[in-house]
Amino acid sequence: QVQLVESGGGVVQPGGSLRLSCAASGFTFSSFGMHWVRQAPGKGLEWVAFIRYDGSNKYYADSVKGRFTISRDNSKNTLYLQMDSLRVEDTAVYYCAKDYCSGGRCYLGSLDYWGQGTLGTVSS
């Protein structure tokens, strides 16, 4: 079965860095676009970043552009999010999620499997 397991969250001071990982299993990781979505405590969902299945295209929310970097290692079935210059407002649970594909067609941007999330807290 499809599994996405995030790790790497923790507590960091403003201006610091965190590197999140998302280990994928149960599907052909190298064939799917992947996303990071975050949720601040008690708030709604905010899309953060996307990477194409082969890593050739990457997109970011304006709120993280220039500070966060999404990447993937298809040989390790792992997605990453490098978060630098962190701010208090980046505090959130970070989820990785995969694009939904069915019947040979992919619905890029609709997200069918999500990990359980990892909490990143930015606080002094």
Partner 1 sequence: EIVMTQSPATLSVSPGERATLSCRASQSVSSYLAWYQQKPGQAPRLLIYGASTRATGIPARFSGSGSGTEFTLTISSLQSEDFAVYYCQQYNNWPPLTFGGGTKVEIK
Closest to 50 (Cα-Cα) out of 101, 103, 111: 111
User: Considering beta carbons, is residue 16 or 67 the nearer one to partner 1?
Assistant: 67
Helices (H) and strands (E) in the chain, counts: 0, 11
> Using the rule CB under 8 A, is 114 a contact of partner 1?
yes
To partner 1, the closest distance from the beta carbon of 47 in angstroms equals 4
Residues 62 to 81 in contact with partner 1, rule: CB under 8 A: 62
Residues 88 and 41: their CA atoms lie apart, in Å, by 12
Strand 105-114 relative to strand 118-122: parallel, antiparallel, unpaired?
unpaired
Chosen residue from 5, 23, 52, 60 binding partner 1 by CB under 8 A: 60
> Using the rule CB under 8 A, is 95 a contact of partner 1?
yes
> For partner 1, which stretch binds (CB under 8 A), given 10-18, 19-27, 69-77, 108-116?
108-116
CB-count burial class (<10 Å; 0-12, 13-18, 19+) for 124: exposed
> Using the rule CB under 8 A, is 45 a contact of partner 1?
yes
Which residues contact residue 28 at a Cβ distance below 8 angstroms, ignoring those fewer than 6 apart? none
User: Considering beta carbons, is residue 45 or 88 the nearer one to partner 1?
Assistant: 45
Q: Which residues of this protein are in contact with partner 1, per CB under 8 A?
A: 35, 37, 44-47, 50, 59-62, 95, 97, 100, 102, 107-112, 114-117
